[in-house]
Amino acid sequence: MQIRPILAALRKHRLATLLIALEIALACAVLCNACFLIATRMSAMDIRSGVDEAALAQVKLDCDDCNANDLNARVLSGLGKIPGVRSVSVINTVPFGDHAGTAGISLDPAGQHFGGVVDFYVAGPGSFEALGLKRVAGAPPGPDDYRRIDTTFLPADASVWVTRALAEHLWPGADPLGKEFWMDKFHFRVAGVLAHFARPGGGEGGPSTREWSVFVPTLPGKDLSGVYLLRAEPGQLPRVLRDARAAAVKLAPEAVLDQQASRTIGELRDRYFESDRAMAGILLGVIVALLLVTALGIVGLASFWVAQRRKQIGVRRALGATRGDILRYFQTENFLIVSLGIALGMLLAYALNLTLMEFYELPRLPLSYLPVGAAALWALGQLAVLAPALRAAAVPPVVATRSV
């Protein structure tokens, strides 16, 4: 196939060629960035919570003037009697729940060596076992590890269990057991390492911080009340939660049941990522619509050129060109137009990504998305031009040469 005649023909239709190339360039830029955003959203949703989600639920009561010890005693006793409840314990929050213990830590008492912002899970007896946390080092919390809160939401000095991800961040290559860190005047010593334990916010500081969590065993009291962790058999959990919500209203009439927060962990996960799923769906719709418009543009232009070149096609057929030659001509012509659009689109894709990085703090577009987007548009272009090209190849020489 000679390329020069095709380029000469395209030069005679510069405006139409340029418009289709620009449409393909826009499609390439949007396709690459939209696919990257969808992948980023899906990656953000793929969080290992580290807990037994299928068996856990949370019941949350809001009460500013309640006697914390009395409230905990009534609720723990009452919820524990519900058929199907395997355990009930007090905790400050759960994965995909509300922020309740986010704070910065340091590796020295003076606060000179900043360790990062972590989430503290402050929980009462029974919560460690109920959560189903998996240890990779150290023993589980014992009775002596549960200490009372002194002034704020944490004990002044406590043994804690950190995630492997946080330990590797704070003490890379070292054994974290026995290591110490501080949060203002509060001192902590690592007694165990957890395989996984997601932060309530899912790692809002980026994927690397998703598991910067610290489990602090604490005795329930004034600063640890109102949030209760239920564990039940997975098949019974919806019924247990429904009964627990009804029981909590009767057990603590002075408190207000938080309906939105009193859910299973699975429901909390679904609600937490609701906006991410919606955004991924919108972006997928944009991709489909843009590709459809691009395909229709290619079909329209190719159909128009077939109608305009009927006499030229007939002459070529009369001179010995086969149907395959005519088909390859239009496919090669389309390939050149699409290639021009893709070349422009790759530059536009990075320009769009730089804009998103500047205003929305998105990561840089990986190079691997460019060949994938190019391949998709090349395939789309060849499929879109196929029907008009087949119609051109099917025109008999006699009919074509007689057409005006």
Helix, strand, coil share of the chain (percent; to 5): 50, 20, 30
Domain count, the chain: 2
Tokens of 293: 């418009």
Q: Cα separation of 233 and 102, whole Å?
A: 31
Give per-residue pLDDT as tens, 169-180: 999 999 999 999
Alpha-carbon separation of residue 246 from 61, 177, 349 (angstroms): 12, 43, 54
321 closest CA partner among 386, 382, 397: 397
**Same domain? 117 vs 265:** yes
118 closest CA partner among 135, 136, 101, 131: 101
**Domain endpoint, select from 223, 241, 269:** 269
**Same domain? 264 vs 175:** yes
**236, pLDDT greater than 60:** yes
- DSSP of 315-327, one letter per residue? HHHHTT--HHHHH
Is the separation of the CB atoms in 160 and 189 below 8 Å?
Answer: yes
The three-class DSSP label of residue 109 is: coil
Query: Which range (89-103, 134-148, 310-324, 368-382) has the least confidence?
Result: 310-324
**Same domain? 224 vs 322:** no
Q: Cα separation of 297 and 171, whole Å?
A: 57
The three-class DSSP label of residue 77 is: helix
Q: What is the pLDDT of residue 154?
A: 86
Segments forming the whole domain that contains residue 382: 3-45+275-402
DSSP 200: T
Beta partners for residue 215, in sequence order: 121, 161
Q: Cα separation of 34 and 284, whole Å?
A: 8
- Confidence band, pLDDT 50/70/90 cuts, at residue 362: confident
Beta partners for residue 135, in sequence order: 194
Give per-residue pLDDT as tens, 106-115: 999 988 999 9
Q: How far apart, in Å, do the first and last CA atoms of the chain sit?
A: 27
Is the separation of the CB atoms in 210 and 203 below 8 Å?
Answer: yes
**Same domain? 58 vs 13:** no
**Domain endpoint, select from 243, 269, 295:** 269
**Same domain? 212 vs 320:** no
Alpha-carbon separation of residue 131 from 53, 164, 198 (angstroms): 8, 17, 12
**Same domain? 119 vs 222:** yes
DSSP 152: S
As to burial, measured by CB atoms within 10 angstroms (0-12 exposed, 13-18 middle, 19+ buried), residue 141 is: buried
Q: What is the pLDDT of residue 319?
A: 74
**Same domain? 111 vs 18:** no
**Domain endpoint, select from 223, 247, 269:** 269
Alpha helix positions (H), 46-190: 68-80, 127-131, 164-170
**Same domain? 209 vs 253:** yes
Q: Cα separation of 393 and 378, whole Å?
A: 21
**Same domain? 329 vs 248:** no
**Same domain? 116 vs 212:** yes
Give per-residue pLDDT as tens, 140-151: 999 999 998 866
Is the separation of the CB atoms in 56 and 264 below 8 Å?
Answer: yes
As to burial, measured by CB atoms within 10 angstroms (0-12 exposed, 13-18 middle, 19+ buried), residue 362 is: middle
**Same domain? 61 vs 191:** yes
Q: What is the pLDDT of residue 231?
A: 97
Q: What is the pLDDT of residue 401?
A: 52
**Same domain? 235 vs 305:** no
